[in-house]
Amino acid sequence: MGKKIKKEAEPPPKDVFDPLTIESKKAATVVLMLNSPEEEILAKACEAIYRFALKGEENKATLLELGAVEPLTKLLTHEDKIVRRNATMIFGILASNNDVKKLLRELDVMSSVIAQLAPEEEVVIHEFASLCLANMSAEYTSKVQIFEHGGLEPLIRLLASPDPDVKKNSIECIYNLVQDFQCRATVQELNAVPPILDLLKSEYPIIQLLALKTLGVITNDKESRVMLRDNQGMDHLIKILETKELNDLHIEALSVIANCLEDMDTLVLIQQTGGLKKLLSFAENSTIPDIQKNAAKAITKAAYDPENRKLFHEQEVEKCLVALLGSENDGTKIAASQAISVMCENSSSKEFFNNQGIPQLIQSLRSDNEEVREAAALALANLTTCNAANANAAAEADAIDPLISILSSKRDGAIASAATVLANMAMQEPLRVNMQNHDVMHALIGPLRSSNTVVQSKAALLVAATACDVEARTELRNSGGLGPLVELLRSKNDEVRRHASWAVMVCANDELTAVELCKLGALEILEEVNLSVSRKNKFSDAAYNKLLNNYLSLKYSLTGYLSSSNIIGDGFYDYGRINPGTKLLPLKDLCLQEPSDLRAVLLVNSKSDISPPPSMEDKSSDIGYGRSISSSSSLRRASKEKTNLHFSAGFGSPTEDRSEPTSGRNTALSKLAMKEKGSRKGRGKKEEEKVKEEEEVAAVPKLIGEGSPDKEWYPPSDPDFCVYVYEVTKSIFPITNIKEQIEALAKRWLIKLASAALWFVGSMAELGMKLS
């Protein structure tokens, strides 16, 4: 700070005392002199205290302990100008001590200090009074006191003072005050922008810096930005950027420009005057990372406006941002990535980054800095949304592996963005297959268990996008991903619940996964959700129906009916009606249960290693209704070449390929089949045969359970059912007319139904029971 030219001190009169010097042992004496009624003694005592306080913080604390502050506050309003001046100088120095600040607030001396800013007071008084206010304004309570006592107006007036110290202290105090929105509004009313802009022309960098910082705060308000534009403030700021000697001011200047560029009119003005090109060139060519970072931030703030994005695109701002991505500074990379995230809201900019920018962003995904990875992932998420070309470009640049790695990141924002990019890629089948080869389903388990709702939502959406084939669903099921997915159905967040329902709907496309989801309680949760008007959504209803339609055994037990589109396949079983909320036991558990007097479970299973004879007309007519209905796999393979035939109730069409049972299990299972056939024998059945068969049946569960625990379990088969399907197929398929096919099938079904009824009546009569 330059020295001020002060008036030469007049020589003291010969009849006065020499200046008093204070040592620590004399400080108490001088403090006592502050109560003297003589003006000359007061002036000398204040001068001595001022010099004592200048020596350091310890002396300031000593004066506070000696009680010097309270009598000094009274001298601020003393009639003698010299006494008043010296007291003001002391407070300018003492106010830097925190304990003194606290005491001054309690003594409420703010109005007395502000009064010293009056135009008629000396420059020295202005200097130290403004210094006192600058020190005090660092704390919120003091800011309130300064504002309430009208301190802003005289401070703004002093910005035009010829004294640089007064300017510096005044703008520093104003900078502290405008942190509060009420003070910012008052600054606008007092038209403070023009005098602050004038400070940018100061020869003192500290004054210029404080002026820029103040502008950076007040231009957060639109009214101040308009005032700055109307007073040619942008020209001043661009000139600062063009002046290399002022490089220590460039960062703050960019912050002000960033605020101003939010206004469309300001951006148009700076574009028309060529300032925008200068700004972009400055950002791209600067070697100072903080300058590049702040330039990118300026672009980001302005680019939130659609019209601004359009203007930026016309000025090829994308090239500047791509160049900044190549910076070695992490802060610059983050700022550039964030700017790209906003700029790609413009479709033309998004297309530009298809050729440039995506490889650099993917390189950032491999950074050791978590913030860099998060910013790059966010940019890629926005670039690939609704843009298949960018998704392809990202995949070609090997983005899949680092994106999947980010799914295990500690930053929720990075995980959510990475999941979004992967979901966008999964819209294309080749990319989806590639992702599955990188074990994406296993990597999703962590995000599905996250406590962050955004991560939960994006993870569920990624499941919906990737679980489109049996292999992916199998991997998700085997990895334990269905459990946390089902839990997301309970979420109170609408988007999480909607995406989780969507994912469940996709996963329920195959029977094994649908059964597992039902075991985990998905059906009950969805039923509860669909009962709530506020919680249900179109996906929750679709997911509920999809689960039932791919778990027909449960659907039939719950509803008692199947729709015409439901195709019964091998493994369907009729347990009987169950109440809502009741768990349906798996077929394996039912088969391993001990025999009981409960209703028989009817099973459809056409798998068998037994081939039927060429013609079984007579035998097929005797086949009755049993607990297990099955057909031979050889016949199923023969009929597979023909159109699928749909059966109702207990008769099903083999529509799904399953692994064939091994011959090693046929002994036990054939015994069960023998029992079932035996239960359908006529009245002439010998009693000893019944006893023998009952013993064999009783041994079946034991035989089944004695197998190796590692051996795969297979449901029981019934070769008679295979024969029946073969005969029906043989007689129906040669008929070319659909109506005649239906009639022929109906006749055969009625014959079979009648045979079953006759067998049932005969069995009841044999047991001595009559039908009413």
Average pLDDT of the residues in 177-195: 91
Position 661 confidence tier, pLDDT thresholds 50, 70, 90: very low
Instruction: Tell me the backbone φ, ψ of residue 628, rounded to 5 degrees.
Output: -125, 130
DSSP string, 374-413: HHHHHHHHHHHTT-HHHHHHHHHTT-HHHHHHHTT-S-HH
Among the residue ranges 26-40, 128-142, 493-507, the one predicted with the least confidence is 26-40
**Rounded-to-integer distance, Cα 213 and Cα 768, Å:** 104
Residue that has been written with the tokens 């039923």 in this structure: 527
Residue that has been written with the tokens 């002396």 in this structure: 59
Q: What percent of the chain has pLDDT over 90?
A: 46
pLDDT, position 13: 52
Tokens for 254, please give them.
């960019």
Asked whether residue 580 carries a pLDDT value surpassing 90, the answer given is no
Nearest residue to 380 via CA among 400, 369, 368: 400
Asked whether residue 56 carries a pLDDT value surpassing 80, the answer given is yes
pLDDT, position 361: 96
Q: Give residues with Cβ within 8 angstroms of 648, minimum separation 6.
A: 562
Average pLDDT of the residues in 143-172: 94
pLDDT, position 626: 34
Among the residue ranges 136-140, 350-354, 429-433, 665-669, the one predicted with the least confidence is 665-669
412 or 66, greater pLDDT: 412
The per-residue pLDDT for range 206-225, each reduced to its tens digit, is 999 999 999 999 999 989 99
pLDDT, position 703: 41
The per-residue pLDDT for range 533-564, each reduced to its tens digit, is 999 999 999 999 999 999 898 999 888 889 88
Give the neighbor-by-neighbor strand order of the sheet with 573-574: 573-574, 602-604, 628-629
pLDDT, position 4: 44
**Rounded-to-integer distance, Cα 39 and Cα 157, Å:** 31
Tokens for 2, please give them.
């330059």
**Rounded-to-integer distance, Cα 30 and Cα 33, Å:** 5
The rounded Cα 521 to chain-centroid distance in angstroms is 27
Amino acid at 749: W
Asked whether residue 706 carries a pLDDT value surpassing 70, the answer given is no
The per-residue pLDDT for range 162-183, each reduced to its tens digit, is 999 999 999 999 999 999 988 9
Asked whether residue 611 carries a pLDDT value surpassing 50, the answer given is no
Among the residue ranges 307-316, 427-436, 662-671, 692-701, the one predicted with the least confidence is 662-671
DSSP string, 101-139: HHHHHHHT-HHHHHHTTSTTS-HHHHHHHHHHHHHHTTS
Asked whether residue 393 carries a pLDDT value surpassing 60, the answer given is yes
Q: What percent of the chain has pLDDT over 70?
A: 83
What torsion do the CA atoms of 441, 445, 447, 449 make, to the nearest 10 degrees? 150
**Rounded-to-integer distance, Cα 531 and Cα 537, Å:** 11
Among the residue ranges 363-372, 473-482, 661-670, 679-688, the one predicted with the least confidence is 661-670
CATH code for residues 252-356: 1.25.10.10
Position 374 confidence tier, pLDDT thresholds 50, 70, 90: very high
Position 659 confidence tier, pLDDT thresholds 50, 70, 90: very low
Asked whether residue 683 carries a pLDDT value surpassing 80, the answer given is no
Dihedral angle sign, alpha carbons of residues 186, 188, 189, 193 = positive
**Rounded-to-integer distance, Cα 134 and Cα 532, Å:** 60
Q: Give residues with Cβ within 8 angstroms of 102, minimum separation 6.
A: none
CA triple 711-716-718, angle to 5 deg: 145
Tokens for 500, please give them.
């989780």
pLDDT, position 546: 94
What average pLDDT is seen over the chain? 82
Q: Give residues with Cβ within 8 angstroms of 735, minimum separation 6.
A: 741, 744
pLDDT, position 37: 87
Give Cα separations from 185 to 147, 168, 255, 263, 639 (angstroms). Answer: 12, 22, 20, 19, 85
Asked whether residue 730 carries a pLDDT value surpassing 70, the answer given is yes
pLDDT, position 280: 87
Tokens for 139, please give them.
């704390």
Classify domain 451-543 by CATH architecture: Alpha Horseshoe (1.25)
**Rounded-to-integer distance, Cα 398 and Cα 415, Å:** 18
Count the Cβ atoms, other than its own, within 10 Å of residue 24: 11
Give Cα separations from 154 to 107, 150, 198, 447 (angstroms). Answer: 22, 8, 17, 58
Contact criterion met (CB below 8 Å) for 36 and 42: yes
Q: Tell me if 252-356 shares its fold with 451-543.
A: yes
pLDDT, position 680: 40
pLDDT, position 385: 95
- Widest CA span in the chain: 153
Domain boundaries, the chain: 252-356, 373-438, 451-543, 587-766
What is the gyration radius of the CA atoms in the chain, in angstroms? Answer: 44
Contact criterion met (CB below 8 Å) for 734 and 642: no
Task: Give a three-class secondary structure readout of 681-721.
Answer: CCCCCCHHHHHHHHHHHHHHHHHHHCCCCCCCCCCCCCHHH
What are the residue ranges of helices labelled H in 315-365? 317-325, 330-343, 347-355, 358-365
Contact criterion met (CB below 8 Å) for 82 and 43: yes
pLDDT, position 25: 53
